[in-house]
């Protein structure tokens, strides 16, 4: 049981929706046989009842295979099974007509008319509903349902059904086939919509990373471009002066050396600004991004007043945790809390989508085989004497805890949590995978 549960929890949300959709269509053959074939044994004599049972069972099997392959086509995994669709359409018409003729003109039973109408309507309805998986556009689906109803009425009268009975059969086909057609169309729409939303979320994360890389590249270009241009000019001047034996060449090379050192300092400042993370900004960004992704996010605890190096380290924890809640697991709720007690600040990130951020043992020991994200967070926290713990905290709960000691003279002020409606700031930096 635990293995099956883990198999299900390990799936992404689109994969879960697809699995549910497929199994829903896999149950249709059993429903068709149980609803339209088995009752024939109660009011149709042998061997007609067995003939009806075999005909309906064959149709249900063909419809099941067609539905499975057509769903693959809707996801772009295989070409449209045109031949199989034609085979299903032909089988639907032939089996419906044959079952109608056999029930009406075969050995007389208690209620052959009811058997004929039930099997006839059922086979047509399930057949049209399955064929709708390969149809694009509501008008075509409507035409298909109406065409099946008109065809049912046109076939029923020559087969021996009265005109009122044929009209009733046509109306039943409209209702039943319309219902199954709507079910098929809605299932495909929902499946495609879930996959598109998941792709949009991943695209948003990639764009945020790309935008930050561009910003970082622009900063480096501004620093390096300007200073290297000056270095080139100074070096060229020094070369010309040296060729003429002028002592000013030494002064120019000294200036080049000064500019090079200044460039190193500016680059370090750019990189430092790139690597530092503001805790309050990261909390606001985490709440905004998770809320936009449909995850209920609660942020609580004091934010201001912490030393800059501690804010930077904890900001990275929030950034990594948020990214992995989005990219792993299937969380519906995430809680981020910050607590200061006994000279230590504790950041806790919990989500109910385990496995969401790795699956550590809950201790701060190294975990061979894990992704580099968890190790990177430990390295950052180690710089401020902090520790990191990550692991399951219940059946479907994952908890990540970071503890950092505060300097003796550091007393953080209580500040309200970021507003839910604040401007979301997606995780802007390339984040290493926490789970492998």
- Examine the pLDDT at 416 and tell me if it is beyond 60: no
The 10s digit of each residue's pLDDT in 291-309 is 766 788 888 887 777 888 8
Which of 206-220, 337-351, 390-404 shows the lowest per-residue confidence on average (mean pLDDT)?
A: 206-220
- Examine the pLDDT at 435 and tell me if it is beyond 80: no
pLDDT at 274: 59
- Examine the pLDDT at 415 and tell me if it is beyond 50: no
Q: Band the pLDDT of 424: cuts 50, 70, 90.
A: very low
- Examine the pLDDT at 409 and tell me if it is beyond 90: no
H-type alpha helices, 305-398: 308-327, 372-382
pLDDT at 121: 83
Let me know how long the chain is.
Answer: 436
pLDDT at 202: 77
Q: How far apart are CA 70 and CA 48, in angstroms?
A: 33
Phi, psi (rounded to 5 degrees) for 78: -160, 160
The 10s digit of each residue's pLDDT in 148-175 is 888 888 887 777 777 887 788 888 888 9
pLDDT at 422: 45
The 10s digit of each residue's pLDDT in 227-269 is 788 888 888 888 888 888 888 888 888 888 888 888 888 787 7
Mean pLDDT of the chain: 77
Q: Let me know: does 43 contact 113? Beta carbons within 8 Å.
A: no
pLDDT at 213: 77
- The secondary structure of residue 37, as a DSSP letter, is I
Nearby residues of 193 by Cβ (< 8 Å), 6 or more positions away: none
Q: How far apart are CA 272 and CA 199, in angstroms?
A: 32
Q: Band the pLDDT of 103: cuts 50, 70, 90.
A: low
Contacts 24+ apart (CB under 8 A), 28-32: 28/60, 28/63, 28/64, 28/67, 28/126, 28/129, 28/130, 29/60, 29/61, 29/63, 29/64, 30/60, 32/56, 32/59, 32/60, 32/63, 32/122, 32/123, 32/126
pLDDT at 354: 61
Q: Let me know: does 145 contact 89? Beta carbons within 8 Å.
A: no
Q: To 10 degrees, what angle do helices 163-243 and 13-32 make?
A: 160
Q: How far apart are CA 54 and CA 42, in angstroms?
A: 16
pLDDT at 275: 56
In terms of DSSP bridges, do strands 344-351 and 387-392 run parallel, antiparallel, or are they unpaired? unpaired
pLDDT at 106: 61
Tokens found for residue 379:
């390295």
Q: How far apart are CA 388 and CA 365, in angstroms?
A: 9
Which of 16-20, 266-270, 362-366, 400-404 shows the lowest per-residue confidence on average (mean pLDDT)?
A: 362-366
Average pLDDT of the segment spanning 269-291:
74
- Examine the pLDDT at 282 and tell me if it is beyond 70: yes
Tokens found for residue 32:
């068709």
pLDDT at 436: 28
Asked if residue 174 has a cis previous peptide bond (ω within 30° of 0), the answer is: no
The 10s digit of each residue's pLDDT in 26-57 is 888 888 888 887 877 776 677 777 888 888 88
Q: How far apart are CA 121 and CA 116, in angstroms?
A: 8
CA distances from 368 to 219, 390, 428 (A): 37, 14, 27
Bigger pLDDT: 116 vs 284:
284
The 10s digit of each residue's pLDDT in 346-369 is 999 998 876 444 333 333 333 333
Which of 84-88, 183-187, 285-289 shows the lowest per-residue confidence on average (mean pLDDT)?
A: 285-289
Average pLDDT of the segment spanning 186-210:
82
pLDDT at 370: 37
pLDDT at 328: 66
Q: Please give the model's pTM, rounded to 2 decimal places.
A: 0.54
H/E/C letters for each residue in 260-285?
A: HHHHHHHHHHHHHHHHCCCHHHHHHH
Question: From its phi and psi, is residue 339 left (phi > 0), alpha (psi between -120 and 50) or beta?
Answer: beta
Q: Let me know: does 339 contact 345? Beta carbons within 8 Å.
A: yes
């Amino acid at each position: 049981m635990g293995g099956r549960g883990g198999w299900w929890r390990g799936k992404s949300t689109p994969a879960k929706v697809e699995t549910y959709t497929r199994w829903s269509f896999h149950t249709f053959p059993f429903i068709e046989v149980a609803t339209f074939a088995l009752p024939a044994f109660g009011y149709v004599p042998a061997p007609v009842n067995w003939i009806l049972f075999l005909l309906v069972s064959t149709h249900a099997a063909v419809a099941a295979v067609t539905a499975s392959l057509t769903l693959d086509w809707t996801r772009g995994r295989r070409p449209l099974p045109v031949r199989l669709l034609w085979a299903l359409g032909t089988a639907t018409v032939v089996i419906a007509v044959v079952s109608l003729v056999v029930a009406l003109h075969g050995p007389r039973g208690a209620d052959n008319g009811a058997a004929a109408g039930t099997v006839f309507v059922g086979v047509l309805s399930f057949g049209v509903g399955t064929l709708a998986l390969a149809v694009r556009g509501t008008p075509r689906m409507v035409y298909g349902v109406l065409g099946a109803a008109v065809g049912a009425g046109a076939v029923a009268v020559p087969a021996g059904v009265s005109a009122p009975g044929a009209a009733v059969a046509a109306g039943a086909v409209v209702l039943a086939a319309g219902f199954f057609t709507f079910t098929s169309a809605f299932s495909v729409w929902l499946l495609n919509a879930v996959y598109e939303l998941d792709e949009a979320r991943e695209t948003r994360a990639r764009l945020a990373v790309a935008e930050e890389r561009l910003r970082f590249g622009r900063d480096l270009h501004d620093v390096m471009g300007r200073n290297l241009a000056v270095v080139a000019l100074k070096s060229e001047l020094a070369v010309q002066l040296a060729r003429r034996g002028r002592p000013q060449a030494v002064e120019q090379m000294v200036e080049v050396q000064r500019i090079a050192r200044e460039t190193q300092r500016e680059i370090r400042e750019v990189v430092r600004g790139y690597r530092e993370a503001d805790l309050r900004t990261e909390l606001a960004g985490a709440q905004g991004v998770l809320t936009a992704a449909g995850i209920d996010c609660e942020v609580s605890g004091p934010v201001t007043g912490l030393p800059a190096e501690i804010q930077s380290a904890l900001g990275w924890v929030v950034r990594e945790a948020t990214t992995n809640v989005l990219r792993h697991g299937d969380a519906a709720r995430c809680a981020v809390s910050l607590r200061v007690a006994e000279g230590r600040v504790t950041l806790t990130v919990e989500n109910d989508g385990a496995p969401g951020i790795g699956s550590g043992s809950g201790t701060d020991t190294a975990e061979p085989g894990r992704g580099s994200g968890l190790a990177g967070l430990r390295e950052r926290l180690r710089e401020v004497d902090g520790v990191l713990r990550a692991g399951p905290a219940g059946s479907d709960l994952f908890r990540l805890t970071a503890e950092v000691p505060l300097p003796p003279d550091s007393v953080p002020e209580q500040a309200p949590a970021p507003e839910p409606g604040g401007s979301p700031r997606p995780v802007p930096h390339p984040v290493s995978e926490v789970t492998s």
